[in-house]
């Protein structure tokens, strides 16, 4: 069975955290292309996100660092391997982590699980199988389910169809929560060109969101962290398209997208009569133009790095449609559960009430999160690799950019998905441990009295694994 070699992990660590990164990259080999996309495009460029702000303001860090590729052994492989390095022996991990888990900042009953990602061996656990509210760490499950159901190369389409004679066209939402004005303009270009080819210069415009069912609003109600969940939106329904993170959203994302699209058509010489109206594409309508999202691998990376709630709910519904379930919150929860069952993961007590983690009714265990990370590194499941390459890098990218001081043991070595709700703080990811051992961890805390103090306590736990 393939093993993670010490030189691979050492190279990855050097590339991630040290000033001599260039030499380490040369030794480690080529960057993972998905990782380069996630860290250089989404984190450095600070593209639009819909995620909760999981960190705190801090001075700008150095530019994000690449990571050397590693090959992980199957998560369901032999469990007999034991650490040669005493620092990661179970007894020593218990001695190091126990007092840190007892910090008052982590509330009354935090849970934890630490595994060796190369062997699947559990090295430490405290309440590891207890279901807890995961907050945004549930996005790890959402990502794995979508990749399992659809594959990393899947793209989400936004389509325009036309009736005979092209007197009426319909903008059909496919559930692409990454659709922005740039790609909508491309769709307008293609639509206008196709209409001219049919001799049409005036149309009525309908917008179709029938792919999704159920209520538009997330159960938390109107909230700056998420738009109404619609199959059609542009710029995630933000009132200010230039905004990032939490921001005010339109109550009618589909209607706003259709209005923007109508204006774009007018600018291209196509007159749109009347006001765009909701409806369904006519049965006899034929395709006119289309634009596609980035591959699902890149969308997953963006969602995890930025903790993007809009993308997360979109991916949960994409999973539902692929599975033949209703594309609503309940159907998405059933579909995600079914996909994780296919991966033979521990699901006892699990509940997926949404895809983003904003719903406090979500329940997962630390053991499930670490099993997801292990399965994502399994050579038998290369389609799941974006789950690992999308994790923020401590002190460098995404929701960990402003956490972990440069002097911290975990800076550049910890890669983890954050989770934050009032009174709930979580962290799950990977870390290069002593001797180059790659560890997976999950720490879940509820009843936390202070977000900042809880985050610091979680960061100390992950950094302790790197020492």
Give the catalytic positions in this structure.
Answer: 136, 139, 307
Instruction: Identify whether the C-beta of residue 310 lies closer than 8 Å to the C-beta of residue 212.
Output: no
Residue 111, beta-bridge partner list: 444
Contacts of 76 (CB under 8 A, 6+ apart): 120, 344, 378
What gap in Å lies between CA 121 and CA 31, rounded to an integer? 28
Distance of CA 173 to the CA centre of its chain: 21
What gap in Å lies between CA 393 and CA 400, rounded to an integer? 6
Helix (H, G, I), strand (E, B) or coil at 238: strand
What gap in Å lies between CA 295 and CA 385, rounded to an integer? 13
Instruction: Identify whether the C-beta of residue 253 lies closer than 8 Å to the C-beta of residue 207.
Output: no
Contacts of 234 (CB under 8 A, 6+ apart): 179, 180, 181, 184, 241, 253, 256, 257, 260, 261
For residue 41, give the nearest of 414, 406, 382, 397 by alpha carbon. Answer: 397
What gap in Å lies between CA 139 and CA 145, rounded to an integer? 10
């Amino acid at each position: 069975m393939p093993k993670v070699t010490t030189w691979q992990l050492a190279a990855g660590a050097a590339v991630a955290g040290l000033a001599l990164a260039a030499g380490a990259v040369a030794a480690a080999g080529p960057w993972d292309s998905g990782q380069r996309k996630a860290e250089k495009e989404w984190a450095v460029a600070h593209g639009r996100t819909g995620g909760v702000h999981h960190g705190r303001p801090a001075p700008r860090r150095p530019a994000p660092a690449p990571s050397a590729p590693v090959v992980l052994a199957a998560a369901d492989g032999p469990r007999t391997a034991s650490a040669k390095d005493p620092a990661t022996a179970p007894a020593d991990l218990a001695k190091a982590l126990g007092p840190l888990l007892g910090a008052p900042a982590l509330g009354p009953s935090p849970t934890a699980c630490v595994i060796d990602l190369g062997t699947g061996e559990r090295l430490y656990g405290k309440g590891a199988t207890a279901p807890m509210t995961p907050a945004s760490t549930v996005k790890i499950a959402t990502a794995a389910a979508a990749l399992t159901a659809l594959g990393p190369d899947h793209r989400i389409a936004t389509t325009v169809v036309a009736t005979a004679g092209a007197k009426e066209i319909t903008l059909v939402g496919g559930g692409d929560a990454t659709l922005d004005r740039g790609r909508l303009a491309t769709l307008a270009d293609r639509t206008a060109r196709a209409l001219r080819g049919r001799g049409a210069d005036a149309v009525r415009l309908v917008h179709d969101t029938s792919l999704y069912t159920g209520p538009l609003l997330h159960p938390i109600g109107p909230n700056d962290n998420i738009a109404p969940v619609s199959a059609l939106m542009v710029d995630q329904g933000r009132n200010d398209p230039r905004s990032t993170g939490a921001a005010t959203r339109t109550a009618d994302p589909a209607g706003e997208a259709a209005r923007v699209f109508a204006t774009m058509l007018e600018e291209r010489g196509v007159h749109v009569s009347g006001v765009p109206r909701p409806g369904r594409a006519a049965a006899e309508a034929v395709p006119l133009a289309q634009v596609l999202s980035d591959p699902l691998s890149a969308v997953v990376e963006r969602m995890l790095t930025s903790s993007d709630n809009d993308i997360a709910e979109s991916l949960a519904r994409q999973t539902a449609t692929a599975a033949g379930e209703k594309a609503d919150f309940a159907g998405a929860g059933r579909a995600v559960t079914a996909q994780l069952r296919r991966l033979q993961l521990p699901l006892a007590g699990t509940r997926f009430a949404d895809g983003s983690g904003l719903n406090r009714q979500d329940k997962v265990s630390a053991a499930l999160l670490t099993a997801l990370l292990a399965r994502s590194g399994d050579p038998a499941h290369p389609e799941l690799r974006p789950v690992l390459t999308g994790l923020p890098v401590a002190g460098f990218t995404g929701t960990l950019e402003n956490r972990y001081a440069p002097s911290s043991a975990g800076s550049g070595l910890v890669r983890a998905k954050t989770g934050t709700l009032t009174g709930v703080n979580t962290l799950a990811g990977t870390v290069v441990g002593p001797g180059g051992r790659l560890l997976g961890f999950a720490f879940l805390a509820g009843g936390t009295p202070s977000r900042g103090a809880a985050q610091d306590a979680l960061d100390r736990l992950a950094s302790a694994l790197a020492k």
